[in-house]
Amino acid sequence: MTQPCADWKAQGGGPTSVFTILRDEPVWRTRDKGTLRFCSYCGGIHPEDLIARLKAPGTASVRIERTSKSYKSYVHDSLYGQLKLYHWHLTQPDVDQLNAILQLRK
Ligand SMILES: [Zn+2]
């Protein structure tokens, strides 16, 4: 369960949009490398996949970096590179889990 893409909505996404690329609701899909899913509109990582990645063995070096934007963080992962985490996709349980994981890594 994730939150819908707020960026898509803010840009006027929906079946009546004048822009074809904004008509279809964003979906989660994997990229060439690996099984992580990303939002087809904003490119943000699926929160559940990020949480699973952070809990996986051997991922202690994966870290989340704040940005100057309150709605976005970067994820640095030696396997996947720099990923974007858009906070609008997070549910409250996601936020709680991420806080717990990050607290343990301090
Ligand atoms: Zn999105």
Measure the CA–CA gap between 63 and 72, rounded to whole angstroms. Answer: 14
- Quick: pLDDT tens for 17-41: 999 989 999 999 998 778 899 999 9
pLDDT computed for residue 3 by the predictor: 87
Distance (angstroms) between ligand 1 centre and the Cα of 87 equals: 9
- Ligand 1 mean position to 42 CA, how many Å? 4
63-66 and 37-39 strand pairing:
unpaired
Residue 38 makes CB contacts below 8 A (sequence gap 6+) with: 28, 29, 30, 31, 44, 45, 46, 83
Could you tell me the distance, in angstroms and rounded to a whole number, from the CA of residue 82 to the centre of ligand 1? 16
Q: How far is the CA of 28 from the centre of ligand 1 (A)?
A: 9
Query: CA–CA separation, 106 vs 98, rounded Å?
Result: 12
pLDDT at position 32 is 77
In the reported structure, the alpha carbon of residue 101 is separated from the centroid of ligand 1 by a whole-number distance in angstroms of 23
Task: Enter the pTM of the model.
Answer: 0.90
The residue type at 22: L
Closest CA to 7 of 98, 93, 89, 64: 89
- Rama region for 14: left / alpha / beta (φ>0; ψ in -120 to 50; rest): left
Q: How far is the CA of 29 from the centre of ligand 1 (A)?
A: 11
pLDDT digits 0-9 by tens, 79-101: 999 999 999 999 999 999 999 99
